[in-house]
Amino acid sequence: MDQVVMEGLKKLQLTKEEEEDIPINAVSRPELLEECHLSLFGRLLSKRQQNQRTLKNTLKSAWKMGSALRIVEVGNNILQFKFNSKYQMEWVERSGPWNFENNLLLLSRWKKGMTIANITFTHSPFWVQVWGLPFEFLSKEVGKEIGSKLGEVIEVDKRSWQADQAKFMRIRVNLPIQSSLRKGAHITNAEGERFWVNFKYERLTIFCFICGKLGHDDKHCTQNLEEQQNTRQYGE
């Protein structure tokens, strides 16, 4: 059970009847389980209240699925996206990140026992460009090693070094949204030589150039003014 719910229950004074469990013997209907398996849950990474109706219409237009997509409000500004096929659901995941008015749309697949109280949104996929790699490091294996230090590696784009212009490597990574985006990293080869590589993030949404985190801009950064002046290190 979700930790927040558990802590809340500890503070309640339950009656004898409320202490008793209610056993559920009914088996979930196959069609309901199938609907859950073909669902994504999503919310915007924003503290501002958004127009849910406009958000739904915008996503339906962008995804071009018509009546094959149902969008249901389930509470706490979370939407449930119900698809007709696994292909449609995976296409939405694969084609992200998505945004609404430059606010990142976080998505999560259904899991057994998921409720509005315990659903979490911790990561979002982004294509990360790696600039400055030595030519001998342009390989899928190196891409996976670098990407694993940023988050969960989804894919390494081979075309980024097989095309006519091989200026950088592209890695699709599930990034933790609570962490600051890394500007770059030192990499070392087998001989101990160090090289600095820069990271650039494609389709970046609202982002703070002070703390490097997603979901707010410079004006709403929680760092104090002195820290803001000393740590404004993020550029284009």
Mean pLDDT of 202-208: 91
Percentage of the chain modeled with pLDDT above 90: 59
Distances (CA, A) of 185 to 72, 118, 147, 194: 42, 35, 11, 10
**Domain contains 56:** yes
pLDDT of residue 181: 93
CATH number of the domain bearing residue 159:
3.30.70
Q: Which domain holds residue 37?
A: 29-109
Domain boundary among 57, 74, 109: 109
Is residue 155 located within the same domain as residue 85? no
Does residue 105 or residue 232 have the better pLDDT?
105
Is residue 42 located within the same domain as residue 67? yes
pLDDT of residue 31: 83
Per DSSP (E only), the strands in the chain are 39-44, 69-75, 78-83, 98-100, 103-109, 123-131, 152-157, 168-176, 184-188, 194-201
**Domain contains 76:** yes
Q: Is the distance from CB of 182 to CB of 199 less than 8 angstroms?
A: yes
pLDDT of residue 226: 57
Is residue 65 located within the same domain as residue 127? no
Is residue 45 located within the same domain as residue 105? yes
CA 192 from centroid of its chain's CA atoms = 34
Closest CA to 154 of 131, 170, 132: 170
pLDDT of residue 10: 67
| pLDDT score of 225 more than 60 | no
CATH number of the domain bearing residue 78:
3.30.70.330
Is residue 86 located within the same domain as residue 143? no
| pLDDT score of 1 more than 60 | no
Is residue 94 located within the same domain as residue 151? no
Mean pLDDT, the chain, rounded, equals: 87
When pLDDT is cut at 50, 70 and 90, the band that residue 164 belongs to is confident
Structural domains in the chain (count)? 2
Does residue 149 or residue 50 have the better pLDDT?
149
- Give CA–CA dist 29/34, Å, rounded: 9
**Domain contains 17:** no
The strand pairing partners of 127, in sequence order, are 172
Does residue 15 or residue 25 have the better pLDDT?
15
pLDDT tens profile 71-80: 999 999 999 9
Mean pLDDT of 17-32: 76
| pLDDT score of 210 more than 60 | yes
**Domain contains 217:** no
**Domain contains 97:** yes
Prediction pTM value: 0.83
**Domain contains 199:** yes
**Domain contains 77:** yes
pLDDT of residue 234: 72
| pLDDT score of 37 more than 90 | yes
pLDDT of residue 236: 64
Is residue 197 located within the same domain as residue 153? yes
Mean pLDDT of 32-58: 91
**Domain contains 183:** yes
pLDDT tens profile 125-145: 999 999 999 989 999 999 999
Is residue 80 located within the same domain as residue 143? no
Question: Which of 84-93, 185-194, 226-235 has the highest mean predicted lDDT (pLDDT)?
Answer: 84-93
Mean pLDDT of 157-177: 88
Does residue 134 or residue 14 have the better pLDDT?
134
